[in-house]
Structure formats: structure tokens, C-alpha cells
Structure 1
């Protein structure tokens, strides 16, 4: 098993400095951003596409640091009906598959996306509780007319490239739990689409990530190490569908997500929040999680994703790495 980190939290550092930090933390893998919601400063895309020598030099930097390049990440919404977002994210995904193949990297991480709820619609619609038939009408359009054709094509591209596409089961996407992941695989006949098992979004939806791994089995291709703390007193009042997010003021330069879209500000007292590995669930959980992943694939890559607001980039990574490595020792993987 390769324990590493997704390097988006270190985009203010050079690639070489980032790899040095990971090595000092005892990690042996790195997942590099290739587009989508955030830029790709650690991936010289044009150089890698255009030159075998550039690809050799790039991989040499990882080898010199003792870090394996275990995946490319292109999280975004390739089905977004906004012409400034969806087509660009889709193109980034196509290109990430191509670059991964050229680099000999066999995992690309992304999201399934969500389109508009009706033909010609201009706004993303996410249906989660289709008790009214109009919501099933929306889902029929989203799946039959948009998602199935798009992901059938992606599966063919991935198959030709020898790359596995790993979907993060993320709310605000058509695929957000095991049932919807299986639905996509079955509806497209996919052989090269499966799950990137990120427990953080499963926790707040009330799922058991270990049970999810065991249920999906060989459809789990890749994994993330990100924890979630459920704030029980706040859940009593707001539930897990806590919608009290607010806009960042323009003068505070909110993070862009494509087109005119930006990242919003969390509530001060959220029902749940992302935290470093070990701050939401104890070592016993993480050891069981790693054992379940190893039972599927002993060589699986598990990459820390740091989004704990109480720690800076390096300190958050350090705490997560210490706890993840301790769990790995306890798990015997």
C-alpha cells in the first residue's frame, strides 16, 4: 500500500519542495492536480504532452525524492451546463487521461458531475430525494441524455489508455454513494470506471466507509485519507444537510471554481466539518479502513487530502501523516 498526499494544499510551493515535504513526513506517494476546479502548478501539461524527454525528467524528480506518482486529480464538473465550466472540465479530464497514459500512471481521480435538470437548462440540478415524479423526470434526463453517453465515452478513452478513472462519491454529483456508483458502471458497461474511496463525504451522509469498501470490492480503485468530524449538538439543530454557507466578500478574493463560480464560506458552527485524519475518527477506524482497502488491492494508493481549517498546510499534513502511518502499522499493511 502506498501512503501519500494529494498536493493541492501545497500549490504555493514548488513541486520539488512539495516532494521533499512529503518525504520528510514519511509518505511515499503523491497525487497531482491536472485541472478541473483548481489549477495544475505541479504538472507542466504542455511540456509533458509534447516531449518524451520532459516526461522522463518529470518522473525523475519523483524518483529522486523517493516518491511515487500514484495518480492525477481532475476533480470538477464535466457535465456542468455552463459553457464556461463544463466543456473546460471535460477537456481537462480527456487530457488528464492522455497525460496519465504517457507518464505510465494508471489512476485518474475525478467526479461524476451533474448537469441541468432539463434539456437546455443552464443551472446544475442535484436531485437527492425524488419523491415527486418531476424529480425522476429530471434524473431520467440527467442519466439517459447526459451522463451515460459522456461516461461511456470516458470509459472507452480510459480503456484505450490503460488508465482507471476513479470517481469520488461526492454530493452535488450524480454519483455520491455506492448505489449511484454501481448505477453508472452498470448503465455504461464500464470496465475502467470505479471509486476513489474518500471516507469524508461518506461520514457526513451517515455511511460506514469500511462497509462501503466491502460492498464495492473490486470497484474501489484508489482512496483518499480525509476525516470528518460530526458536531453532534449542531446536527440536532441543522441536520447533515446544513445549508448555512455564505459568500466570501469579493475583496477577500474567494477561490474560483470555474466561470463565475467561487468557493463559499462555511458556517461558524457547522453540523460537520473536514478535519485531519484522526480528528474525527480514531485509529481503530483508520486501521480497519486500511485493512479493508488492502483486502481489495494490497498495492492501493491512499492519499491524504488536507482541508482542516485549524491547521496550516504543513502542520495539517504532518498530523494526518502521523495518524495515518500509525493506523497502517496497527493494521499491518
Structure 2
């Protein structure tokens, strides 16, 4: 396994300075935003795809520091009911796939997206209950008419390039649980898999250890984000896990994102890493910082300090005792 970071936490810095900081932490890999919600501060697909010289120089910045590019990330909503919005997210994602092929990066991370409630809709509609029956009917329409056709075609495009698409299971989008991920994978092909961020599992009431088992046994665990969540035992009873208060309302929210180790202890994180090795995931653990109680520098540093000694880097030993 390797330890990396999603570089958007250092997006205020030029790429060279960000890479120097990442290398100084002893990390192995960098995940780069290429569009959508994370933006493209450190990686601009249009420029790199248009100029082979720039592409070569870009790769050299990583290689000279002993770093690899673990994934390109383009989180957006390519199923947005407003066609112009959907088109932009779609084009950015497709360019990201093209760039991943050119950079020899094996994984592209994104969201499944969420359609509206009809062809005339203006906003996404995320049904979370089967009754009244309109919700169940809406969900079936979304998957049959929008979600599956889009990802079937996009998955085929990625597979032809030898790439994996790691969809982050996230509330508000059609794919948000292991079950919805596997439903889409069954319909759209094996290029589709999961970016498992345990923070999004915890707040939905899903044990990420079990999620790793479910996805890993299906060969559907493509990538991993290291981020934590803490659930407030008082506030969750008032607002529930689908708390719609802004993330800035830290004192009152039912749950908040935290840096690694500040929602769950090191033993829990060791179990997550061991379970990933158990199901065959031996790629990058990519740190993501979204902790409202810590500075970027402190949150990033603490995550590195906690994860470094837990990482399983060497191949498993031969079982000489059996």
C-alpha cells in the first residue's frame, strides 16, 4: 500500500510548492482535481492535452520528487437536469479520462450524479423513501432512463482506455451505498467501482468495514479516501443523519467531518487498512482534509502521523507456520 493525499487541500499554493510539502511529509502519491466541484487548480486538462511538452514537464514535477499520480478527480453531476450544467460536468469528466490515459494514471474518481424528476426538471431530486409510491416510480425512472445509460456508455469509454472509474458513494447522488454502487456496476460494467470514503459511510449508518468486505469481494473497490466523521449523540436525535444544516454549524450539527483519528481511533483505522488488504486492495490510501476544527496544515499532518505507522507496505509473508 501507499500513502497519498488529495492535493485540493493545498489548492491555494502553486503546484510546485504543494508538491514540496507533500514530499516533505514522506508521502508516495498525489491525487489531483481536474474539474467539477474540486476545481483544477493543480491540473488543467485542456492545457496538458494540447501540448505534449507541457504534459512531459508536468509528469517530471512528480517524478523528480519521488511521487506518483494516484488518481485524477473530477467530481460533478453529469446527470444534472439542466442540460448546460450536465454538459459541462460531462465534458470535464471525459477530458479527465483522456488525460488519465496520457498520464498513465489508472483511476479516475467522481460522483455518479443525480437526475431530476422529469425531462422538464431544473434541479436534482434525490429520493430516499419508496413510499408514497411516486418516489419509487421516480427512482426507477432515474435509473432506467438516466443513470444506467450514461454510465454504461462512459464506463465502456473508460474500459477501452484501460481505466477504472471510482465513484464516490455520497449522499445526494444516485450512487451512495455499496448496494447502489453494485447495482450500477452490474448494469454498466466492471470499469465502474467505488471510491470508498469511510466518512460518508459512518454518517449514513453504514459500517465501512462491512462496506469494504461487500465491495472487495465483488472486485469493486477501486480507490480509498482517508477522512473521518464524528456523530454527535445529542444532535443526531434532533436532526437525524440527513442533517441539512450548513457544515459551518459545527456545534449544532448531527455529524461533522474530522481528520483521521478524530472521529474513530487508530485501531479502527488499522482494521480498515487490514480489511482492504484482506479483500485485495493494495493501492493508495489518499488523505482528504475537510475538518472544520483544524487548519489544513494541522489536519493534514495529524492524518499523516496516524496513518503512516498503520500502513501495510510489504507483501504478506509466506505462512511458514502452516
TM-score exceeds 0.5: yes
> In the aligned structure 2, how far is the partner of 1:239 from the partner of 1:280?
18
Question: Is the contact made by 2:81 and 2:119 (CA closer than 8 Å) also made in structure 1?
Answer: no
The one-character-per-residue Cα deviations of 1:271-312 (angstroms, maximum 9, x if unpaired) are 100000000000011111111222334531110110001122
* Corresponding residue SS for 2:83: coil
- Quick check: 1:241 aligned with 2:242? yes
Q: Measured at CA, do residues 137 and 298 of structure 1 come closer, stay the same or move farther in structure 2, by a change above 3 Å?
A: closer
- For the aligned residues, what is the CA RMSD? 1.8
Determine the structure 1 residue equivalent to 2:232.
231
Q: Measured at CA, do residues 298 and 212 of structure 1 come closer, stay the same or move farther in structure 2, by a change above 3 Å?
A: closer
Report 1:46-195 matches (<5 A): 46-188=46-188, 190-195=189-194
Question: Is the contact made by 1:32 and 1:43 (CA closer than 8 Å) also made in structure 2?
Answer: yes
Report 1:222-301 matches (<5 A): 222-245=223-246, 265-266=248-249, 268-301=251-284
TM value normalised by structure 1 = 0.90
Report the alpha carbon displacement of residue 325 of structure 1 after superposing the two structures with TM.
Answer: 1.1
Determine the structure 2 residue equivalent to 1:219.
220
> In the aligned structure 2, how far is the partner of 1:243 from the partner of 1:313?
24
The one-character-per-residue Cα deviations of 1:242-272 (angstroms, maximum 9, x if unpaired) are 1233xxxxxxxxxxxxxxxxxx744542110
Structure 1 residue runs of 5 or longer lacking an equivalent are 246-263
Report the alpha carbon displacement of residue 120 of structure 1 after superposing the two structures with TM.
Answer: 1.8
> In the aligned structure 2, how far is the partner of 1:236 from the partner of 1:140?
31
Report 1:21-36 matches (<5 A): 21-36=21-36
> In the aligned structure 1, how far is the partner of 2:19 from the partner of 2:146?
39
Report 1:312-331 matches (<5 A): 312-328=295-311
Report the alpha carbon displacement of residue 327 of structure 1 after superposing the two structures with TM.
Answer: 2.4
The one-character-per-residue Cα deviations of 1:103-158 (angstroms, maximum 9, x if unpaired) are 10010000000000122211110011112211111112111111111001111110
> In the aligned structure 2, how far is the partner of 1:207 from the partner of 1:193?
21
Question: Is the contact made by 1:6 and 1:305 (CA closer than 8 Å) also made in structure 2?
Answer: yes
* Corresponding residue SS for 1:128: coil
How many residues end up aligned between the 2 structures? 314
Deviates more, 1:295-304 or 1:164-173: 295-304
Question: Is the contact made by 2:276 and 2:282 (CA closer than 8 Å) also made in structure 1?
Answer: no
> In the aligned structure 1, how far is the partner of 2:202 from the partner of 2:303?
17
Question: Is the contact made by 1:119 and 1:141 (CA closer than 8 Å) also made in structure 2?
Answer: no
* Corresponding residue SS for 1:87: helix
The one-character-per-residue Cα deviations of 1:193-230 (angstroms, maximum 9, x if unpaired) are 10001101000111111111111111001100000011
> In the aligned structure 2, how far is the partner of 1:38 from the partner of 1:29?
18
Structure 2 residue runs of 5 or longer lacking an equivalent are 317-322
TM value normalised by structure 2 = 0.93
Determine the structure 2 residue equivalent to 1:308.
291
> In the aligned structure 1, how far is the partner of 2:50 from the partner of 2:280?
33
Determine the structure 1 residue equivalent to 2:320.
none
* Corresponding residue SS for 1:3: strand
Determine the structure 2 residue equivalent to 1:202.
201
Report the alpha carbon displacement of residue 329 of structure 1 after superposing the two structures with TM.
Answer: 6.0
* Corresponding residue SS for 2:64: helix
Deviates more, 1:297-306 or 1:159-168: 297-306
